[in-house]
C-alpha cells in the first residue's frame, strides 16, 4: 500500500492520534524501515514496548508455535501458559498472585478495583479513595484518567468518577494531610514517564511505604512503562527498598503483543473471588506464550543488568556531547528510560531527528525521552547521541 493510499484509508479512523508522516512497515532489532525503504534507528521502542527489539527470534518462535496449537478458549477453562507465566512473575517479584488483562489501563483498573474490594469486603472498613500524584499517567479509561495527575487528559470527560485525590509528588507532608479514614491506597510510578522522566525520591517513597503499613493503606506501583527490565532492575520498585502490595505491568511484558497484568500480595487474593473481576481476552494461550518467552529471555539473559550498564553509558555520552549547552537543563533517568530536559519546546528537534533517521519521543513539551531496547548496542547509542547532539546544538 502506497503512502497516499494509506493516508486515504486512515480517514476512516477517528483522529485520536497526531500521527507522524511516516508509515513503518518492517522492524529488526533496533531498526525500522518505512514504506519508501528508509531506515530509522528506533529509540522509542513503541513507547517502551519492544524491550527486546523488533521481532525478537525467541518470542516469534513461541508465538508461531502457539498459533499452530490453540488461540482462545476463555477463562472458564484452565490455561497452562497462563499459570506458568504467572509463576514466572511471582517467582521473580515480591508478588504472589497475578491477574492477566490486555493493557496497562486495564491493569490499573484492576488494581483500583482490588484495593477497594479488599478494604471494603475483607477489611470491612468502607475505604474507597485512591491518592495519586501530579504529573502521573495511569491510563485512558474513566477511572485511570481520573487517577492521572494531568488536567489535559481529563478535558471533556466530566463528570469524573469520585474517590481520587491528587497531590504533589515527593511531598510527605502533603501525603500525610491527604490521608483520611477513606484512604484505600496510594498509587504512583517509580519514574513519572509521561510526566517528564522524574524518578521518585527514595526518602519519600520509603516514608510513604511506612505510612501505608502503619495506616493499613495499600501501596500500588504502576510499572507499565518502567517494568520488564527497562530501569536496570526487572521492576523499578526494586531500586527503592520497598515492596508494593500491588504492581501493574503491560508494554514490555509482551514484546509488542498486547497484554497486561496486575500482580498482588497474598493477603489480597481472597478479595478477587470468582466472579468479582474478569476479562474475555485476559491471559489467552497466545498472549501468555509470549509473556513466558519474554520473561524467560529477560531474566535468563540478565537483560536488566545490561540495561543498567547501557543506560549509564547513554547518559555519560549525552553529558559529554551536550556539555556546556545552555539549552540543555538536565539529563536524568534510570537505566534505559532517559530524559533530556531542555529550556524550550523540543517538537522541532523530534521532527528533524526523524529526517536524520532517528526516532525519539517527548515527555511533555520540553523533554526528549529516550527508550532504546534493552539489547541496544553501544554503536547504536553513539549514533543516536551524535544525531541528537548535532540537532540540539543547531536548535539552541
For residue 189, give the CATH number of its domain. 3.40.640.10
* CB contact set of 210 (below 8 Å; sequence gap of 6+): none
Q: Tell me the pLDDT tens digit for each residue of 89-106.
A: 999 999 999 999 999 999
pTM for this predicted structure: 0.96
Residue 322 lies inside a defined structural domain of this protein = no
Residue 359 lies inside a defined structural domain of this protein = no
Q: Tell me the pLDDT tens digit for each residue of 351-376.
A: 999 999 999 999 999 999 999 999 99
Three-state DSSP at 350 gives helix
174 — pLDDT class (breaks 50, 70, 90): very high
Judge whether residue 3 has pLDDT over 60: no
Residue 382 lies inside a defined structural domain of this protein = no
Judge whether residue 133 has pLDDT over 60: yes
Residue 240 lies inside a defined structural domain of this protein = yes
Q: What percent of the chain has pLDDT over 70?
A: 97
Nearest by Cα to 107 from 239, 240, 258, 213: 258
11 — pLDDT class (breaks 50, 70, 90): confident
pLDDT, residue 210, reads 98
- Quick one: angle between helices 285-300 and 303-321, nearest 10? 70
Residue 314 lies inside a defined structural domain of this protein = no
Query: Once rounded to an integer, what is the mean pLDDT over residues 65-85?
Result: 98
Using CA atoms, how far residue 127 sits from 173, 175, 247, 260, 274, in Å, is 21, 17, 19, 26, 22
Q: What percent of the chain has pLDDT over 90?
A: 96
Helix spans in the chain (H): 3-10, 45-48, 57-67, 80-91, 104-117, 142-147, 172-178, 202-215, 285-300, 303-321, 347-355, 378-395
Judge whether residue 6 has pLDDT over 90: no
Residue 369 lies inside a defined structural domain of this protein = no
The number of beta carbons lying within 10 Å of the beta carbon of residue 245 is 24
pLDDT, residue 395, reads 85
Nearest by Cα to 335 from 232, 208, 186: 232
| Cell numbers 493516508: residue | 7
| Calpha distance 147→163 (Å, rounded) | 9
Residue 351 lies inside a defined structural domain of this protein = no
Return the minimum-mean-pLDDT range out of 17-21, 76-80, 360-364. 17-21
Query: Once rounded to an integer, what is the mean pLDDT over residues 82-88?
Result: 98
Question: Pseudo-torsion of CA 97, 296, 232, 310, nearest 10°?
Answer: -160
Q: Note down the domain range covering 95.
A: 66-300
Tell me the pairing of strands 218-222 and 164-167. unpaired
Q: Tell me the pLDDT tens digit for each residue of 231-268.
A: 999 999 999 999 999 999 999 999 999 999 999 999 99
* CB contact set of 331 (below 8 Å; sequence gap of 6+): 315, 318, 319, 322, 338, 339, 340, 341
Residue 178 lies inside a defined structural domain of this protein = yes
pLDDT, residue 258, reads 98
| Cell numbers 536548535: residue | 395
Query: Once rounded to an integer, what is the mean pLDDT over residues 109-121?
Result: 98
Q: Tell me the pLDDT tens digit for each residue of 330-353.
A: 999 999 999 999 999 999 999 999
Using CA atoms, how far residue 101 sits from 66, 254, 284, in Å, is 18, 11, 9
Q: Cβ distance 132 to 287 under 8 Å?
A: no
| Calpha distance 239→298 (Å, rounded) | 17
pLDDT, residue 8, reads 63
Question: Cell numbers of 324, please?
Answer: 556546556
Using CA atoms, how far residue 122 sits from 126, 262, 317, 346, in Å, is 10, 19, 52, 49
Question: Cell numbers of 177, please?
Answer: 494531610
Question: Cell numbers of 286, please?
Answer: 497466545
Q: Tell me the pLDDT tens digit for each residue of 295-335.
A: 999 999 999 999 999 999 999 999 999 999 999 999 999 99
Q: Domain tally for the chain?
A: 1
The number of beta carbons lying within 10 Å of the beta carbon of residue 185 is 25
Amino acid at each position: 500500500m502506497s503512502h497516499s493510499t494509506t493516508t486515504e484509508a486512515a480517514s476512516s479512523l477517528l483522529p485520536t492520534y497526531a500521527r507522524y508522516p511516516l508509515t513503518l512497515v518492517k522492524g529488526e532489532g533496533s531498526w525500522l524501515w518505512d514504506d519508501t525503504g528508509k531506515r530509522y534507528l528506533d529509540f522509542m521502542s513503541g513507547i517502551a514496548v519492544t524491550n527486546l527489539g523488533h521481532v525478537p527470534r525467541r518470542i516469534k518462535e513461541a508465538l508461531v508455535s502457539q498459533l499452530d496449537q490453540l488461540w482462545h478458549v476463555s477463562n472458564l477453562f484452565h490455561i497452562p501458559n497462563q499459570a506458568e507465566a504467572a509463576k514466572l512473575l511471582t517467582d521473580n517479584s515480591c508478588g504472589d498472585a497475578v491477574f492477566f488483562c490486555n493493557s496497562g489501563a486495564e491493569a490499573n483498573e484492576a488494581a483500583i478495583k482490588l484495593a477497594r474490594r479488599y478494604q471494603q469486603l475483607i477489611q470491612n472498613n468502607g475505604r474507597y479513595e485512591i491518592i495519586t500524584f501530579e504529573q502521573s499517567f495511569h491510563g485512558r479509561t474513566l477511572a485511570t484518567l481520573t487517577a492521572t495527575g494531568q488536567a489535559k487528559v481529563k478535558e471533556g470527560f466530566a463528570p469524573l468518577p469520585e474517590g481520587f485525590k491528587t497531590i504533589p509528588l515527593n511531598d510527605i507532608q502533603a501525603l500525610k494531610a491527604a490521608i483520611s479514614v477513606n484512604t484505600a491506597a496510594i498509587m504512583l510510578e517509580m519514574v513519572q514517564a509521561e510526566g517528564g522522566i522524574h524518578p521518585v525520591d527514595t526518602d519519600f517513597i520509603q516514608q510513604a511505604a511506612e505510612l501505608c503499613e502503619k495506616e493499613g493503606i495499600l501501596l500500588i506501583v504502576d510499572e507499565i512503562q518502567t517494568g520488564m527490565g527497562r530501569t536496570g532492575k526487572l521492576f523499578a520498585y526494586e531500586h527503592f527498598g520497598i515492596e508494593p502490595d500491588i504492581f501493574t505491568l503491560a508494554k514490555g511484558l509482551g514484546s509488542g503483543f498486547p497484554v497486561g497484568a496486575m500482580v498482588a500480595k497474598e493477603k489480597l487474593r481472597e478479595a478477587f473471588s470468582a466472579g468479582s473481576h474478569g476479562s474475555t481476552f485476559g491471559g489467552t494461550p497466545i498472549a501468555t506464550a509470549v509473556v513466558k518467552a519474554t520473561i524467560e529471555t529477560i531474566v535468563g539473559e540478565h537483560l536488566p543488568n545490561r540495561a543498567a550498564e547501557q543506560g549509564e553509558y547513554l547518559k555519560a555520552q549525552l553529558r559529554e556531547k551536550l556539555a556546556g549547552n545552555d539549552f540543555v537543563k538536565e539529563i536524568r533517568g534510570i537505566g534505559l528510560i532517559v530524559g533530556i530536559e531542555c529550556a524550550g519546546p523540543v517538537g522541532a528537534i523530534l521532527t528533524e531527528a526523524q529526517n536524520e533517521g532517528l526516532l525519539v519521543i517527548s515527555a511533555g513539551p520540553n523533554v526528549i525521552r529516550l527508550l532504546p531496547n534493552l539489547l541496544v548496542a553501544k554503536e547504536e547509542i553513539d549514533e543516536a547521541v551524535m544525531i541528537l547532539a548535532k540537532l540540539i546544538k543547531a536548535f539552541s
